């Protein structure tokens, strides 16, 4: 069990403390589940009413929330971004995933690979010729790293990840189990006899810094050139990214999204679950897509909300859905009118 002085957390977060800095924090929990010794957070004013019933010892509290009438028995760490602060505490003091610095056996490491002394290589991992692993890289068991792959400092590849030859992963990336990076793009040329000839996929995939990729995603290598995931982007589980796609910086993508070949997604986009993008289109920066949206063509307007298939402005789609819901009733009324008019 971790025991951290509240003064350490206050200093780490740069928060303003209202309470006793000598108190000790032993755990973290949601405000309703928290018990004595736990730290929790409140960022939304609508949850202030829950504070009087919580058993938490300390709360990271939004600076927008007044302390007036709040229980004095609780320690308050006041800051502008309490949820971010809570996440920082989780990562620094309560993250269950330790970093290792060892090479387990059996594993295969080619003699012509370059590994820093601080890496972790799990059992049954395979490190191919020409691979370069930076400081503190964590390669969990059953990971395959193909020829000439480069992985930056502090990146983590969990069990079962496969990275094909020539791909690059930047610093501070996380790739979850079952994901495949650099598999062939879907390229086949139709032949006169009706069959298909495979088009060699000779490009690669580049994952920039601070990217997190969920479990069982597939990111295809480019036919020519590079499939690119820009810095800070976060991908959920079960996502398909096709050849020569570019996903911009700090974009978040929910589960089961499919992005067809050569499509360019802008920076700071938010993409809901099961959204599908046609190939060879461009999506403007800051675009936001509701779940199951189908996007058949380029979007040029920045920071707009889209929904439906084919995609339309979200407000228009919601209005359309109201009309669609009323169609059966409208049909019934029209039939009644036709009968009365004997049409």
Q: Give the residue numbers annotated as catalytic, written as ranges.
A: 243
Q: String of b and e for 176-215 (b: at least 16 CB within 10 Å)? A: bbbbbbbbebebeeeeeeeeeeeeebebbbbbbbbbbbbb
The dihedral formed by the CA atoms of 229, 232, 238 and 240, expressed in degrees to the nearest 10:
-20
CB atoms within 10 A of CB 27: 19
- Residue corresponding to tokens 């995939």: 205
- How far is residue 41's CA from residue 21's CA, in Å, rounded to a whole number? 17
């Amino acid at each position: 069990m971790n025991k951290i002085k509240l003064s350490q957390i206050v200093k780490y977060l740069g928060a303003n403390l209202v309470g006793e800095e000598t108190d000790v924090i032993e755990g973290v929990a949601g405000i309703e589940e928290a018990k004595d010794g736990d730290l929790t957070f409140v960022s939304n004013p609508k949850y202030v009413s829950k504070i009087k019933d919580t058993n938490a010892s300390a709360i990271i509290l939004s600076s927008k929330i007044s302390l007036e009438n709040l229980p004095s028995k609780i320690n308050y760490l006041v800051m502008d971004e309490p949820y971010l602060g809570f996440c920082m505490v989780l990562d620094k003091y309560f993250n269950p995933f330790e970093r290792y610095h060892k090479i387990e056996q059996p594993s295969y490491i080619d003699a012509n690979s370059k590994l820093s002394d601080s890496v972790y290589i799990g059992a049954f991992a395979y490190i191919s010729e020409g691979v370069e692993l930076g400081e503190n890289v964590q390669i969990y068991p059953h990971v395959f790293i193909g020829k000439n792959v480069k992985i930056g400092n502090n990146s983590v590849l969990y069990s079962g990840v496969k990275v094909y030859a020539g791909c690059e992963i930047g610093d501070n990336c996380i790739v979850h189990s079952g994901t495949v990076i650099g598999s062939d793009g879907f390229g086949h040329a139709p032949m006169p006899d009706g069959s298909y000839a495979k088009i060699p996929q000779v490009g690669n995939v580049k994952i920039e810094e601070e990217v997190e990729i969920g479990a069982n995603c597939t990111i295809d290598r480019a036919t020519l050139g590079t499939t690119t995931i820009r810095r800070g982007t976060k991908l959920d589980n079960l996502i398909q990214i096709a050849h020569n796609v570019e996903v911009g910086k700090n974009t978040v993508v929910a589960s089961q999204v499919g992005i067809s070949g050569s499509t360019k997604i802008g920076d700071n986009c938010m993409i809901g679950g099961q959204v599908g993008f046609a190939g060879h289109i461009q999506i403007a920066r800051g675009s936001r897509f509701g779940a199951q949206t189908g996007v058949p063509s380029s979007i040029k307007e920045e920071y707009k909300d889209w929904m439906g298939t084919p995609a339309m402005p979200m407000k228009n789609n919601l209005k359309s859905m109201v009309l669609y819901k009323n169609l059966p009733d409208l049909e019934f009324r029209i039939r009644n009118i036709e009968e009365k008019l004997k049409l």
